[in-house]
């Protein structure tokens, strides 16, 4: 009973810390809007209030396109959920997986090669879809295992190796697709890979695209959101209800202690990074397999944003796999609200980007805030105990 109460108390403190981070970011964004209205008399304070309401309205501040925007938001949140899970399992094992963008890129590359190389006229589309998903996930797992190996067996800092593998992956992907027959040569786009729908490879929608359609415009929403939720639940069960998950967390708490207890800490570190890489790559795979997304292959100058944003999504959720579902959707929710700013107010969408940046910044303090809440609670309990003991002594 005590353990249950302790877990619920820790969960409440983690949730409180996350909410404080979110409110802090929103408050900073509102202050910026107010300052912009002060220095520009034509805008006014009322417009600042309207601006923050538009951001907080997310897809529902988009007027007649609300359902369409909500469906697209769910689809765009799916890769972020998986990259957040990637960061989560690494954090749980005491590792910092900043190599998620590289793992994401490798997953996208292999997924596209498989899905566009096998003709759907010869092999059923669902089989190609599954092969592409598995292949992309395995590619990311192998790429994630590289920093895991260096950390486990050579004690090289995983952050350094992850950064190196990120840019190696970016250049490998650019080199592979540079002379690829899959390049989209449309006049309106340059350096993009064909959409998988040209080979009849499209993720099942289960009617979500119609539910979230905006009149004649059909949403990108598909069944991948359910897949991401199932993966999050599975990871939660593994980390909290299995021996393997216990060993991973034990390595995170104290690697030497885990080794002394008879656990194979090197294997666990390697497997944790491999799983993390596979999850990040799966996010890229399901994004590409949507069928309506064309992938920009010239990535040697920039890295996928969702790869990095998975880290604050995990931190905001207190490294809880279930919580990551909600934090990832929330970050995309704010992003959609920001995109509606320019159309509905005198501000531009960069204000929402600042808001998200501040939430991301504050997320780094989520654990510290949680610790402060624990300390405060502990000190109050000590005071109550002292008062109680003092009364008993007087009696």
Tell me what pLDDT residue 216 has.
66
- Partners of 217 in the β-ladder: 214
| 121-129 long-range contacts, CB within 8 A, separation 24+ | 125/199, 125/200, 125/201, 125/202, 128/199, 128/201, 129/201, 129/202, 129/203, 129/289
Across the range 256-281, mean pLDDT stands at 92
| pTM of this prediction exceeds 0.85 | yes
Q: How far apart are CA 278 and CA 275, in angstroms?
A: 5
What integer best gives the mean pLDDT of the chain?
84
Across the range 249-278, mean pLDDT stands at 91
> Of 133-137, 197-201, 295-299, 373-377, which gets the smallest average pLDDT?
373-377
Domain map (residue ranges) of the chain? 1-374
Share of the chain above pLDDT 70, in %: 85
Q: How far apart are CA 160 and CA 173, in angstroms?
A: 20
Q: How far apart are CA 215 and CA 282, in angstroms?
A: 31
Tell me what pLDDT residue 270 has.
95
For residue range 349-381, what is the model confidence (pLDDT) as tens digits?
777 777 778 877 777 666 666 666 665 555 555
The highest-confidence range among 161-175, 176-190, 303-317, 361-375, by mean pLDDT, is 161-175
For residue range 58-116, what is the model confidence (pLDDT) as tens digits?
888 877 678 888 989 999 999 999 999 999 999 999 999 999 999 999 999 999 999 99
Q: How far apart are CA 171 and CA 164, in angstroms?
A: 11
* pLDDT band at 10; cut points 50, 70, 90: low
* pLDDT band at 317; cut points 50, 70, 90: confident
Question: Residue length, the chain?
Answer: 395
Tell whether domain 1-374 is in CATH 1.10.8.
no
Sequence-ordered list of residues with C-beta below 8 angstroms from that of 67, at least 6 positions apart, any chain: 211, 212, 213, 214, 219
Higher pLDDT, 218 or 69: 69
Question: Angle between the 321-339 and 350-363 helix axes, to the nearest 10 degrees?
Answer: 160
């Amino acid at each position: 009973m005590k353990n249950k109460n302790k877990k619920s108390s820790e969960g409440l403190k983690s949730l409180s810390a996350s909410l404080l981070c979110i409110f802090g970011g929103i408050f900073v964004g509102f202050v910026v809007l107010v300052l912009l209205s002060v220095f520009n008399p034509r805008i006014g304070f009322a417009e600042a209030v309207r601006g923050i309401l538009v951001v907080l309205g997310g897809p529902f501040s988009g007027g007649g396109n609300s359902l369409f925007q909500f469906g697209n938001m769910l689809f765009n949140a799916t890769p972020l959920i998986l990259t957040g899970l990637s960061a989560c399992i690494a954090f749980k094992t005491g590792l910092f997986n900043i190599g998620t963008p590289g793992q994401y890129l490798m997953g996208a590359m292999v997924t596209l090669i498989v899905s566009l190389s096998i003709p759907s006229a010869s092999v059923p589309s669902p089989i190609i879809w599954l092969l592409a998903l598995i292949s992309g996930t395995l590619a990311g797992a192998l790429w994630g295992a590289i920093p895991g190996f260096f950390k486990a067996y050579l004690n090289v800092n995983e952050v350094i190796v992850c950064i190196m593998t990120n840019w190696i992956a970016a250049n490998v992907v650019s080199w592979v697709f540079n002379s690829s027959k899959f390049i989209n040569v449309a006049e309106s786009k340059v350096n993009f890979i064909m959409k998988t729908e040209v080979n009849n490879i499209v993720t099942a929608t289960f009617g979500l695209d119609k539910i979230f359609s905006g009149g004649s415009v059909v949403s990108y929403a598909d069944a991948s959101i359910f897949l991401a939720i199932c993966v999050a639940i599975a990871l939660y069960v593994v980390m909290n209800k299995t021996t393997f998950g216990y060993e991973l967390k034990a390595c995170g708490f104290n690697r030497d202690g885990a080794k002394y207890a008879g656990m194979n800490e090197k294997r666990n570190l390697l497997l944790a990074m491999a799983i993390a890489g596979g999850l990040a790559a799966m996010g890229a795979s399901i994004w590409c397999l949507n069928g309506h997304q064309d992938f920009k292959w010239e990535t040697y100058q920039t890295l996928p944003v969702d790869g990095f944003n998975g880290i604050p999504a995990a931190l905001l959720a207190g490294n809880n796999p279930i919580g990551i579902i909600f934090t990832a959707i929330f970050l995309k929710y704010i992003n959609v609200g920001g995109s509606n700013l320019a159309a509905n107010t005198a501000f531009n969408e960069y204000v929402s980007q600042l808001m998200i940046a501040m939430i991301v910044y504050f997320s780094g303090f989520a654990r510290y805030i949680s610790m402060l809440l624990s300390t405060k609670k502990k000190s109050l309990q000590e005071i109550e105990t002292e008062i109680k003991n003092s009364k008993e002594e007087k009696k």
